[in-house]
Amino acid sequence: MASLSDPIGDFLTRLRNAQHARRHMCTAPWSRMKEQLCGILQKEKLIASFAAEGEGVEKVLVVQLHPAKKLELQRVSKPGRRVYTGYQDIKPVLRGFGIAILTTSQGLMTDRDARKQHLGGEILCTIA
């Protein structure tokens, strides 16, 4: 198995590709951050469900997509250029209709939650 320099970018690309191919399911190698990211996407009703299957190195994340929803996923912070922001500088995505996902000292959270809790961090991606 090859190692990836950007596993979150790979995961977002897998979701985008599955959506464009009109698939209802997508699989990706498991990681704790990807599982937290799926939890946020499910809470925001952007994906139907997700589950971790397998054990050890063979563990994968299976994501059930909504067939009718079209997600515009965009990676903001990349391995070559990290983007950090304070809570005062977090801009709403699509005037509040989209979300940004940040890594903070309290874990992954949406831009709205980060502003409420006065936490800044690295902007992982935006979803419109």
Q: How many domains does the structure of the chain reveal?
A: 2
For residue 21, give the CATH number of its domain.
3.30.1370.30
Q: Which CATH number covers residue 85?
A: 3.30.1490.10
Which residues constitute the domain of residue 14? Answer: 7-65
Q: Are residues 52 and 91 in the same domain?
A: no
CA distances from residue 27 to 31, 48, 91, 122 in whole angstroms, order as listed: 12, 14, 31, 25
Q: How far apart are CA 47 and CA 14, in angstroms?
A: 13
The pTM for the full model equals 0.92
Q: Encode the chain (128 residues) as per-residue pLDDT tens digits.
A: 556 789 999 999 999 999 999 999 999 999 999 999 999 999 999 999 999 999 988 999 999 999 888 889 999 999 999 999 999 999 999 998 999 999 999 999 999 999 999 999 999 999 99
